[in-house]
């Protein structure tokens, strides 16, 4: 059996970027900081997220730098050729299938949605 499932809770690292395509598709990209506990100290891991469709629109409207979110999705490895060196490069990206807004209404400052539900 093969399983590719990612569940994370953390804070958004910057302003989400949204792209609208001629096909009607919508893409929201953002980064997420998640604390990992270790014996000596907590360490922060950073994840790149891609959110598509209606969930991308919701992320663009309600998520901002510092927002506490929970996500469920799958891990993908994106590959490309570096323009300056020609070398093949790769980076892990989480394709988000579910977004939960976990902050309080005050954290979302003016957003009507206070979080917690399935946004897909």
What is the CATH number for 11? 2.40.50.140
Quick check: 104 pLDDT over 80? no
Quick check: 114 pLDDT over 80? no
Range of the domain at 77: 6-101
Biggest alpha carbon distance in the chain? 50
Enter the pTM of the model. Answer: 0.78
In a domain, 65, yes or no: yes
Tell me how many domains the chain contains.
Answer: 1
Least confident window among 59-68, 75-84, 96-105: 96-105
Q: Is residue 113 within 8 Å of residue 104, measured between CB atoms?
A: no
Q: Which tens digits make up the pLDDT trace of 16-33?
A: 999 999 999 999 999 999
In a domain, 112, yes or no: no
Q: Is residue 40 within 8 Å of residue 17, measured between CB atoms?
A: no
């Amino acid at each position: 059996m093969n399983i590719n499932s990612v569940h994370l809770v953390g804070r958004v690292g910057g302003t989400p970027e949204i792209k609208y395509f001629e096909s009607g598709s919508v893409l929201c990209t953002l980064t997420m900081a998640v604390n990992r506990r270790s014996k000596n100290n907590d360490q922060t891991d950073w994840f790149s997220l891609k959110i598509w469709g209606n969930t991308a629109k919701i992320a663009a409207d309600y998520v901002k730098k510092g927002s506490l979110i929970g996500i469920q999705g799958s891990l993908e490895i994106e590959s490309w050729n570096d323009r300056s060196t020609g070398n093949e490069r790769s980076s892990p990206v989480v394709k988000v299938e579910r977004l939960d807004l976990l902050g309080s209404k005050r954290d979302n400052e003016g957003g009507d949605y206070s979080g917690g539900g399935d946004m897909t």
